[in-house]
Structure 1
Amino acid sequence: MGARAGRRPGYIRRRPTRRAPVSPEEQLERGKMCDKPDLSEVEKFDKKKLKKTNTEEKNTLPSKETIEQEKECVKSS
């Protein structure tokens, strides 16, 4: 007979291989299952290498005059 439609000639479908279950101890050794994060990189971090920045605080609240104008507009309409 011939090859099935949609498949290459000589193509063999293989089943996926299953891995053996891993014990929790092995997972801990591999670093996959840990309650505490690794802080070694944070401990090595040097704050002195950071650039200084100036922050400007913006007042986004309207002034009293603006609030009064808005109140008058609402009352008149």
Structure 2
Amino acid sequence: MIRWKKELAIFVAIFLFLALGMHFKEWTSHPLHQIEALPESPLGPWHPLYITFGVYLVVLIIRLAFAGLRKIFTKG
């Protein structure tokens, strides 16, 4: 799998996890209404992507830190 495809898959997984975690009842009962209501959201219509990107950056930093630590401890 090409690296960008892996990162995109991680981003989409985080997006779905957050969307279902925050609005599970709405997504299971009336998902189209949930999408149609985005423009009227108090957080703005793009808030799912902003929040997902923020969480993705946190996850990326943690992944890079663990990769760096693994590299340090396996060299010696």
Larger radius of gyration: 1
Q: TM-score, normalised by structure 2?
A: 0.26
Greater relative contact order, per chain length (Cα 8 Å cut-off, separation 6+): 2
Higher helix share: 2
Q: TM-score, normalised by structure 1?
A: 0.25
